[in-house]
Structure 1
């Protein structure tokens, strides 16, 4: 399976000529990530994880695209699709039918990929900032994207961990503990759009050094760089 990292939280997975995209947000390159995609997984409603206009445009132009998201995200996309009288030839009804609500603790197939869901809640940013739904996705029993959380999949040996390297809701120690807790053989960064190179070096140095003690090889990926996983 080919994994391509986009800026910040977005990744694109490809296998057998099928494409699955996770979190095409406004900090990323959503149009490029969504080109030719067959399925999109959205972890939560924040704009750095979903560019709604870009996702809706992709749904209208690509009749084979399906979107899976928490209830609030799915509802907002469905309402926008139903309220848009200028949709594609497939029509707004067709677009709405391809938007699916996902619950934590479930499993489903998306574009030939097997998906399991974990968690359910975004990490706390501040007591005065409401907590929103967040779903972590495990794809093909291999790649785990936690969204904005440090939820650890239970009963699963994750092979490839996507690590939220930096966020308003985390600190370095929590990032390292997350990597130690999951103990995946391979780890790559996500949620790194707010870091400069100096800050990135500090966080990644700790993750690389301490993660290795617990069997995790952490590798930096630049935007649009790909690896086989």
Structure 2
């Protein structure tokens, strides 16, 4: 499986000519990430993970493209792209389905708390082919599974470094790459990732930084 990292939390997966894209948001190179995509998975409604205009355009130009997303996102997208309603599916924790030939299992349920005054929205984490886990904006450890490759939200208004490190240690995936890194400058990112790599390494986790546009076989 070929994984390509785009800016912030967008990931593109390719295998045997099949393309699955996760969280193409407004900080990401959505047009490039979505080119030729078969299926898109959205974790939650915040615009850094869900670019409604870009995704509606993709649905209008890619007749076989399908989308799985939490109910609120799916509802909004059906309004934006009414001609594609049959290709927009709700996703919820506990569900399993096949998307673009990839096996998908859903975890979580809600976004991490940003502040008590800010409403908490739905958030679905996705485990792909029993290996790759994209948690969206929540540090939910998936139960009953062994994750092979973890995508780590390294920085957010709702988290602190100790929580991120504990998440990495708890999941204990052999391999980990960063996501949700679009809000840090190079110095801040290097500082945070050094803690993740050092402490995660003590627990058997090999953490690696991927630049935007960089690909890796997993």
Residue pairs, 1:34-113, within 5 angstroms: 34-82=34-82, 92=83, 95-113=84-102
SS in 1 for 2:116: coil
Match of 1:29 in 2: 29
- Structure exhibiting the larger radius of gyration computed from Cα positions: 1
User: What displacement does 1:41 show?
Assistant: 0.1
Residue pairs, 1:73-222, within 5 angstroms: 73-82=73-82, 92=83, 95-222=84-211
Aligned mates of 1:190, 1:198 — CA distance in 2: 16
User: What displacement does 1:81 show?
Assistant: 1.8
Match of 1:87 in 2: none
Aligned mates of 1:32, 1:206 — CA distance in 2: 32
C-alpha distance after superposition, 1:22-67 (max 9, x if no partner): 0000000000000000000000000000111100100000011000
Aligned mates of 2:5, 2:56 — CA distance in 1: 21
SS in 1 for 2:81: helix
SS in 2 for 1:21: strand
What TM-score does the superposition give when structure 1 sets the normalisation length? 0.95
Aligned mates of 1:200, 1:79 — CA distance in 2: 37
User: What displacement does 1:96 show?
Assistant: 1.0
The two structures, once aligned, show a CA RMSD in angstroms of: 0.5
User: What displacement does 1:72 show?
Assistant: 0.2
* Misfit runs of 4+, over 3 Å: none
User: What stretches of structure 1 of length at least 5 have no aligned partner?
Assistant: 83-91
Aligned mates of 1:42, 1:78 — CA distance in 2: 14
Aligned mates of 1:213, 1:38 — CA distance in 2: 38
User: What displacement does 1:161 show?
Assistant: 0.1
User: What displacement does 1:103 show?
Assistant: 1.0
Aligned mates of 1:81, 1:37 — CA distance in 2: 17
User: What displacement does 1:9 show?
Assistant: 0.4
C-alpha distance after superposition, 1:122-165 (max 9, x if no partner): 00000000000000000001110000000001011100000000
